[in-house]
Structure 1
Amino acid sequence: MSKLSTSSISSSSTANVLCQCRVVVEMKTSWTQSNPGRRFLCCKTSKARGGCGYFRWYDDEMLAQARRVIWCLLKRVKTYELERNRSRKVWMICIAVGVILATWIYVTK
């Protein structure tokens, strides 16, 4: 799982917040284990590209139990997605083997 979301959320409440670059900040969501689902404001330009590195939490800190529940749910979703992708690969291999066998049987007759 990635640490931070890459999509920004447009919000009228953040439209007037400017970073030190004088650019309207963007709102992102943290998906780290310590702050899952917690939103923050940051500079649109990364620090590596010359941005100011502006950062401020938008949401209040969550209770420890809420963080644990969200993190456990995220792990379940990730496990489900991995299992689904593995099943799709097995299914595609079975179809490919079936097509190859059917072709081989048809050609050898």
Structure 2
Amino acid sequence: MEMCHFGLEAIGKTSWTNENPGRQFYTCPLENNVCQYFNWLDPPMCQRSNMIIPGLLRSKNRLEQEINVKLMLANVSRETKCRV
């Protein structure tokens, strides 16, 4: 069990920054990491992973946005037909 500087059980989170995509770390459970505790849970990723993962995340987010727009347009179209 990992403890923060205040003696509280640290919580695990995942980094989604371009520098450390998908890396897990421990941090203080208090809001805004009050005691500034930080500890990586896993070793650094290889350079190739650091290059590939952000691109995959951007593609995933773009596809999700496209799906949401299509669903929204389908709902609007369906509502319009129901009013006629």
Q: Structure 1: which 5+ residue stretches go unaligned?
A: 1-14, 102-109
Name the % identity: 29
Q: Distance in 2 between matches of 1:47 and 1:37?
A: 20
1:46 paired with 2:31, answer yes
TM-score (norm 1): 0.71
| Residue 99 (structure 1) aligned with residue 78 (structure 2) | no
Root-mean-square deviation over aligned CA pairs: 1.3
CA–CA separation in structure 2 for the residues paired with 1:98 and 1:46: 48
Q: Does 1:86 align with 2:78?
A: no
| Structure of greater relative contact order (alpha carbons < 8 Å, 6+ residues apart) | 2
Count of matched residue pairs: 84
Q: 1:56-80, CA deviations, whole angstroms, 9 ceiling, x for partnerless residues?
A: 1111111121112111111111011
TM-score using structure 2 length: 0.91
